[in-house]
Amino acid sequence: MSNLLCCSIWNKRFNAILKWNAFKFSVFLLISVVVTVVILSRNHARNIEADFSSSYLFSSSSPANESPLCSGNLLDKRQIRYAKEGGGSCQLLHYNFERAVGCFDALYERHYSDWNSPHILNHINGPNRKLHFAFIGDSRIRQQFFNFLKLIPDYDWESQPNPLPSGHHGDMEVTSDIIRLRLSFQWRPILNDTVIETIRQWATASATYRPNFIVIGITVWHMLHSEGADFKLYKEKLKELAPFLGQLANVSRVIWLNQYPVIEKYGYSGAMNTDIFSEKIHRYNKAVTSALQQNYSGMRMIWDSSNILVEEYIRGCFLYVRRQRESHSFSDPDHSYINCLDFTHPGYSALSQAAQLLFNDICNEFY
């Protein structure tokens, strides 16, 4: 009896020790996994930087080792079209609140300095006048809008709706009187006559009503079978849109966001995506390029330099999913940073870098 008691107590203690050791072991395992992942992802980030800088930004294919950066062409990776006049440090700048605001001030002065003369001062183009960035398109443009917004300080934001909803299928707007800035997102997932009419009006109406910068991208919904997936119709609509976009690009800055690649498999099921996949995206991108670049080639409209960031993101997701399967213990709590289950919207880790490129392109001349 006492023997049994002794042994059952001993067993309990032994079990407790075992459990404690198992616990310590799993903590140790968890820490090593986290450390490994951190090291790997830092290497990975370094690789991205290396890739990014060697293969693209500092490519030596152009004359006199001129990188696209030095020649002021950050959004279009195909060609170097214009040389930056004078000055310029030829370095990719990191944009923070301060630099972003400085840039908006400089842009404002450039656009509106002569608007302040008394004879055109009125309630529309007078003191209430704001620099207007319009983002127009589907959820991929919306995500770019959000990432642009993250670099702008909230001194006195007024937003509509308030607060801004995250997965919203609808228009949104943020204004700041202090920065004299208006950022709008127009939810237009389908390239139809409404969109074409808006662009036509902006191109032909007086400058008072037209945005100063337009970031546009309307494609992926046209690939959905549920929406008809009519490639021919899409090309026709592009053809209708192109001349107005060309006209608008003459008087505002127009940036058409090229379609990023996607993760080819749905996160949960692992099934191949038969609606939206890279080969199809490539076909749509080519249609856009031929509609917009053929006749308006001087206009630097297409932004395709951030593809490389998303390609790396997707590669990262592939490794991440594999590693997760192996370790079962690492998950990313903040899904906005990286969310590999979302096959079509790259996370903050890629889009924030894309937003940096956009700021560099628009603002570097002021620094």
Ligand X SMILES: *[C@@H]1O[C@H](CO)[C@@H](O)[C@H](O)[C@H]1NC(C)=O
Among 89, 194, 201, 297, binds ligand X (CB under 6 A): 194
Q: List the Cα angle 87/90/91 in 5-degree steps.
A: 130
> Across the strands, what pairs with 135?
185, 215
| Residue 175 CB, nearest approach to ligand X (Å) | 23
269 binds ligand X (CB under 6 A): no
| Residue 77 CB, nearest approach to ligand X (Å) | 22
Q: List the Cα angle 52/56/44 in 5-degree steps.
A: 15
291 binds ligand X (CB under 6 A): yes
79 binds ligand X (CB under 6 A): no
Residues 174-193 that bind ligand X (CB under 6 A): 188-190, 192-193
Residue closer to ligand X, measured from CB, 100 or 238: 238
Residue closer to ligand X, measured from CB, 46 or 286: 286
Residue closer to ligand X, measured from CB, 46 or 169: 169
Residue closer to ligand X, measured from CB, 198 or 278: 198
Q: Please, are residues 185 and 142 in contact by the beta-carbon 8 Å criterion?
A: yes
| Residue 32 CB, nearest approach to ligand X (Å) | 50
199 binds ligand X (CB under 6 A): no
Give the N- to C-terminal CA distance of the chain in Å, as an integer: 86
Size of the site for ligand X (CB under 6 A): 15
| Strands laid side by side in the 181-187 sheet | 158-160, 172-176, 181-187, 131-137, 213-217, 253-257, 302-303
Residue 81's SS3 state is coil
Q: Hey, what amino acid is at 350?
A: A
| Residue 291 CB, nearest approach to ligand X (Å) | 4
Sort strands 253-257 and 172-176 into parallel, antiparallel or unpaired: unpaired
Quote the CA–CA distance of 294 and 289 in Å, as a whole number: 7
Residue closer to ligand X, measured from CB, 154 or 193: 193
| Residue 239 CB, nearest approach to ligand X (Å) | 5
Residues 211-250 that bind ligand X (CB under 6 A): 239, 242, 246-247, 250
Helix ranges restricted to H, the chain: 2-52, 97-112, 139-149, 193-204, 231-251, 278-293, 307-327, 348-363
Chain positions contacting ligand X, by CB under 6 A: 188-190, 192-194, 239, 242, 246-247, 250, 291, 294-296
